[in-house]
Amino acid sequence: MRKYRITLIALLLFGYVNNVIAQNNLHQLQSNFVDLQFGVMLHFNMGTFTDEEWASPDHDPKQFNPTKLDCNQWAKACKAAGMTYGILTTKHHDGFCLWDSKRTEYDIANSPVKKDVVAEYVNAFRSQGLKPCLYFSIWDRHNGVENGGPKEEEFVMDQLTELLTRYGEIPMIIFDGWNWKMGHQLISYQRIYEHVKKLQPNCLIAEHNGNSSLQTDIVYYEGPKGVYPMGDNVYPSQMALTLTNGWFWHPGAAQQVKPVNYTLDKLQRVVPLYCNYMINIGPNRDGLFDEQVVAHLEAVGKIWKRRSERLPLPIQPLIPQEYITAKSISSSNGQAFIEPAGPANAGSPIAALLNQKTASVMIDGISDLVGDRGGFGAFQTYWKFSPVKNRYLILDLGTEHTVSKFYYLPAQLKGYSGIITKYELSASTDNQTFQQIKVANWKKTSDLKVTTFTPIKTRYIKLEILEAIEEPMISEVGVGN
């Protein structure tokens, strides 16, 4: 028995040391990324040719036909502006792929172009010393990745394998249509994360969610939806704003290019906050930047200079490197809230979620914080506990797992209302007898909260709410290591 205990302690210690090493390596990659400071997001896909921001999923691939495609022109213009990296929309929500994918016929190989646009972009940007990053929509409406599932997950993984094995080192990939569409449960965040890191260990992952550091390496603030980094931001992050009136190029875009001072102002405001600033540019239907765009970038480059006086990126809070999916959740009395309420066409992009009534909203992996002045409202799902004496929730992991972290994301955009300030965690293997893990306080903020404790093998984790501001509200909870 003594030998078994020593072996168990050694294994737990080994796991802790590995976690710390992984966290330190991640911090260095994050530091290197925010030192890039200035980049470009390139929305160039089927929507360019159909005059749609979200293109319909069943257009004829032959409509994609940039007869003068020149990614070198993009790269030279971006270099002239002082940019250091780019992000290309390899696939948007309609599912059209800018590379020859073996998993679909809805791709560049069936267009008149017959060129691998991803390869042309990667090569052009590297030739100018710019780092090529990729954008990939998990939500693929052409190929049926609407609501997740095992087959759909394999489809996503196969396409990511193509993108991350054909084009050399990719410093970062940003995902869209995931957190706010089907959630990180129906397409497993952990499985996708591990797949990306296995293919390219140094590839950072970013997500369109704006949720501090919850399930993302780089926080993404979606500027056109009113999401900016806070003045005290310490998270490694990036933000994009459009140079014209849309993400994609549309007729008349050349006359919509914003003044040079607009870009300079955003660089001055954002970069000091450990947040890279990206200009979003939509190449036109010829496959070129409009002349007005090139002139804008050249003018920016003559004025803006890289900031070198910023302090190093602070050490980041410990977060799970491994997220363990809960099989189910039970809770004391409360009510599920879906915001915005009402039919999907009134603001929510996730029609099915509007019917959620149970505490499962706390483990659905959905908590999009973007407030959009012109389209979708701020979207989130959360559970509000009833005003009773004993308020609690119990996570059932399905089988026994060793866990060492518990995370809690308060309902967002509520001020201090609903924030849990004192709690107790306990564990059980039979859902009958619970062993106390920790009693502690949480700060009165809406930030993601992660509690660490001595690793314990368990199936059930219970959170008892001891104190809260008004009635507690939870957007997401979970465990990991």
Is the domain of 123 the same as that of 27?
Answer: yes
Is the domain of 291 the same as that of 417?
Answer: no
- Structure tokens belonging to residue 86: 């780019």
Among 182-186, 207-211, 324-328, 375-379, where is mean pLDDT lowest? 375-379
Among 29-33, 162-166, 185-189, where is mean pLDDT lowest? 185-189
Taking the CA atoms of residue 336, residue 339, residue 340 and residue 341 in that order, the dihedral angle to the nearest 10 degrees is: 0
* Domain count across the chain: 2
Whether 125 is in a domain gets the answer: yes
Whether 12 is in a domain gets the answer: no
- Structure tokens belonging to residue 182: 């089907």
Is the domain of 330 the same as that of 207?
Answer: no
Q: Determine the average pLDDT of the residues in 377-398.
A: 89
CATH code, domain with 249:
3.20.20.80
What mean pLDDT value characterizes the chain? Answer: 90
Q: Determine the average pLDDT of the residues in 351-361.
A: 74
Is the domain of 297 the same as that of 328?
Answer: no
pLDDT in tens, 34-74: 999 999 999 999 999 999 999 999 999 999 999 999 999 99
DSSP symbols for 327-360: SEEEESSEEEEEES-S-GGGT-S-GGGGG--SGG
pLDDT computed for residue 344 by the predictor: 39
Q: Which of 303, 334, 354 is the last residue of a domain?
A: 303
pLDDT computed for residue 241 by the predictor: 96
Is the domain of 293 the same as that of 328?
Answer: no
pLDDT computed for residue 366 by the predictor: 79
- Structure tokens belonging to residue 235: 């998270």
pLDDT computed for residue 343 by the predictor: 43
How far is the C-alpha of 407 from the C-alpha of 284, rounded, in Å? Answer: 44
Is 86 a residue whose pLDDT tops 70? yes
Whether 141 is in a domain gets the answer: yes
How far is the C-alpha of 257 from the C-alpha of 284, rounded, in Å? Answer: 13
Whether 312 is in a domain gets the answer: no
Is 4 a residue whose pLDDT tops 50? no
HSE of 167, CA atoms in CB hemisphere, 13 A: 31
pLDDT in tens, 416-467: 999 999 999 999 999 999 999 999 999 999 889 999 999 999 999 999 999 9
pLDDT in tens, 289-316: 999 999 999 999 999 998 888 889 999 9
Is the domain of 237 the same as that of 110?
Answer: yes
Is the domain of 143 the same as that of 36?
Answer: yes
Is 279 a residue whose pLDDT tops 60? yes
Q: Residue with structure tokens 């970069």? A: 271
pLDDT computed for residue 309 by the predictor: 81
pLDDT computed for residue 19 by the predictor: 52
pLDDT computed for residue 365 by the predictor: 85
Q: Which of 303, 337, 366 is the last residue of a domain?
A: 303
Is the separation of the CB atoms in 241 and 266 below 8 Å?
yes
CATH code, domain with 401:
2.60.120.260
How far is the C-alpha of 372 from the C-alpha of 413, rounded, in Å? Answer: 13
Q: Which of 271, 303, 335 is the last residue of a domain?
A: 303
Whether 160 is in a domain gets the answer: yes
pLDDT-derived band of residue 354, with 50, 70 and 90 as boundaries?
low
Whether 87 is in a domain gets the answer: yes
Is the domain of 178 the same as that of 280?
Answer: yes
Is 16 a residue whose pLDDT tops 50? no
Is the domain of 293 the same as that of 365?
Answer: no
If DSSP states are collapsed to H, E and C, what string results for 170-225? CCEEEEECCCCCCHHHHCCHHHHHHHHHHHCCCCEEEECCCCCCCCCCEEEEEHHH
Whether 401 is in a domain gets the answer: yes
pLDDT computed for residue 42 by the predictor: 98
Is 369 a residue whose pLDDT tops 90? no
Among 62-71, 111-120, 363-372, 378-387, where is mean pLDDT lowest? 363-372
Is the domain of 212 the same as that of 266?
Answer: yes
The pTM of this model reads 0.89
Higher pLDDT, 72 or 373: 72
In the chain, the percentage of residues whose pLDDT exceeds 90 is 75
How far is the C-alpha of 176 from the C-alpha of 236, rounded, in Å? Answer: 18
pLDDT computed for residue 210 by the predictor: 65
pLDDT in tens, 220-277: 988 887 778 888 899 999 999 999 999 999 999 999 999 999 999 999 999 999 999 9
Higher pLDDT, 225 or 90: 90
How far is the C-alpha of 444 from the C-alpha of 417, rounded, in Å? Answer: 9
Question: What's the gap between Cα 135 and its chain centre?
Answer: 11
- Structure tokens belonging to residue 437: 């893990």
Is the separation of the CB atoms in 219 and 206 below 8 Å?
yes
Whether 9 is in a domain gets the answer: no
Higher pLDDT, 337 or 438: 438
> Range of 378's domain?
318-480
Is 351 a residue whose pLDDT tops 70? no
pLDDT in tens, 125-158: 999 999 999 999 999 999 989 778 899 999 999 9
Is the domain of 206 the same as that of 327?
Answer: no
Is the domain of 274 the same as that of 322?
Answer: no
Is the separation of the CB atoms in 95 and 138 below 8 Å?
no
